[in-house]
Each structure stands twice: as C-alpha cells, then as structure tokens.
Amino acid sequence: MPVLSCAHLRKVFGTRVVLDDLNLDVEEHRVVALIGASGSGKSTLLRCAALLTEVDDGTIHLDGEEITDPRVDPDAVRRRIGMVFQAYNLFPHMSVLDNITLAPVRVHRRARDQARAQAREWLDRVGLADQADSYPDRLSGGQQQRVAIVRALVNSPRLLLLDEVTSALDPELVGEVLTMIRDLKAEGMTMVLATHEMGFAREVADEVVFLDAGRVLEAGPPQRVLGDPTEPRTRQFLSRIIEAGRL
C-alpha cells in the first residue's frame, strides 16, 4: 500500500484549474521529485497533501486512510505529515528549541520534556546541537532551513513534503540542506519534494514527476524523465533549464 495516494485531484482558484485530475502514488521509503514550470501546481499539490489547502474533488489517502474525508481530524493527520516551505518560517522571537517544540506541545499535546529531548537529539544529528538556545537571526539561512526540517521531523512523520526548500538560499548554503535530505533518504524517509534543482532530483529521487498545467504529464526514473523524456512539453521545459544552466 502506498504511503500517499492522490486520486483524481482537482483544485480550482477562481477560474484557474490548478490541479486537473491529478494522480500520484508514493510508496514507502521512496523519494519523488516534482518538477515543472512555475505555476504548474507543485506547491498546491503539496499543500493539498498536507491538508493546508482543500481539494475541490478527488481523494487523498495516507497509509490507506482517506484524509480528505471531512470526518478526519486534520491536526491528527498533520502530525503524521511533515511539511517544509521555501521560506523557513521560524518564529524570530523564539529559540531554535522552542520553534521546534511549539507545535508538538501546543497542537499535538506532546509532553514538553519528551518533545524537547527529541528535538535535541535531532539537532545533534544534524550538527546543530550547539544552536538549540540561539534565536533564528543568529543562524545562517542554511542552518535555519535545517532547523525548519528538524521541526517537521520531530513528530516522526510518515511522510515529509519539501517545497523548494533550497530556493531562498545563497548557493553556498544549498549544499548543507541537500546533504540533510540525502541523509534522510538513506534512513528510509518517504519524501515528496518540489524542486528546481534538476541535478539533485536526478541524484536523490527514485521517481521524477513532471507536472504540466496541474496534470502529471510524465513520470518515471530520473535518468529516463530527465535524460530521455518522451513528452515534447517535458523536453521543452528541460531545454529551458539547460539554457539557464540549471541541469
């Protein structure tokens, strides 16, 4: 059974169809990279999967449970899904440790000591143990994004959704975040990531999914989709990326 299964998703903003009969399955321990032009629906898909945006039609299952069922408690679902955004969204007036433990303690009613111990363990693993009591503005962008990823991991989610997590970073800080994602993959974390980093998608993803106007136009192993795409639209997208020097 897939960890995440999206079937016939449809999302419309005003008159614009942003997800259009979209289907996507993500098996356990797999990493799926979503690629596609700006506006193709990558962020919307991730936000729908995290129950941050409501779908207009279709279903989403997490471990076989339909999470788009209105009777499901969204907070309970969000505890099982970690989501990280492009802008790390850390609270500036809170220490790293408080940023990480706020939701587990306040929203998910986890015991404070237990949440803090787990947060410290994670910070240690990603080399940020000495920053636990720092405020975000003392950290580099790469460190802040790693804290945001730890914040998403502290509930031991079944699935991690990463939306352009390196886009806001200076090029020299991208590597440390990518290394962290690589390590998570090695540990077997199931992930879906929207990315413009084709080189990284090629290296880390088990499957690359090309979205075009809210549909999955092409999906498969990275070598195939990025190296020898069958769809003209995918080829066109990739040649633009090559021109921009980003492949």
Ligand X SMILES: Nc1ncnc2c1ncn2[C@@H]1O[C@H](COP(=O)(O)OP(=O)(O)OP(=O)(O)O)[C@@H](O)[C@H]1O
Distance CA 136, CA 158 (A): 27
| Residues 52 to 71 in contact with ligand X, rule: CB under 6 A | none
Determine how many CB atoms are found less than 10 A away from the CB of residue 13.
Answer: 11
Nearer to ligand X, 13 or 91 (CB): 13
Distance CA 22, CA 35 (A): 14
As given in the structure block, the two tokens for residue 243 are: 């021109």
Under the criterion CB under 6 A, does residue 18 sit at the interface with ligand X?
Answer: yes
Task: Report helix, strand or coil for 26.
Answer: strand
Instruction: Yes or no: say if 24 and 193 are a contact pair by the CB < 8 Å rule.
Output: no
Distance CA 235, CA 226 (A): 8
Instruction: Yes or no: say if 115 and 102 are a contact pair by the CB < 8 Å rule.
Output: no
Nearer to ligand X, 18 or 181 (CB): 18
Q: What's the gap between Cα 15 and its chain centre? A: 27
Among 13, 56, 240, 246, binds ligand X (CB under 6 A): 13
The total number of residues written for the chain in this structure:
247
Tell me the CA end-to-end span of the chain in Å, nearest whole number.
33
To 5 degrees, how large is the angle CA 181–CA 234–CA 215?
Answer: 80
| Residues 32 to 51 in contact with ligand X, rule: CB under 6 A | 36, 38-44
Distance CA 235, CA 75 (A): 40
Quote the least distance from Cβ 169 to ligand X, whole Å: 15
Quote the least distance from Cβ 147 to ligand X, whole Å: 22
Nearer to ligand X, 31 or 96 (CB): 31
Nearer to ligand X, 38 or 156 (CB): 38
Instruction: Yes or no: say if 30 and 53 are a contact pair by the CB < 8 Å rule.
Output: no
Quote the least distance from Cβ 42 to ligand X, whole Å: 4
Quote the least distance from Cβ 69 to ligand X, whole Å: 23
Quote the least distance from Cβ 11 to ligand X, whole Å: 8
Nearer to ligand X, 9 or 147 (CB): 9
Nearer to ligand X, 16 or 182 (CB): 16
Quote the least distance from Cβ 46 to ligand X, whole Å: 8
Distance CA 42, CA 192 (A): 10
Quote the least distance from Cβ 60 to ligand X, whole Å: 16
Nearer to ligand X, 40 or 190 (CB): 40
Query: What x-and-dash track marks residues 179-208 binding ligand X by CB under 6 A?
Result: ---------------x--------------
Under the criterion CB under 6 A, does residue 91 sit at the interface with ligand X?
Answer: no
Query: By the criterion CB under 6 A, which residues form the site for ligand X?
Result: 13, 16, 18, 36, 38-44, 194
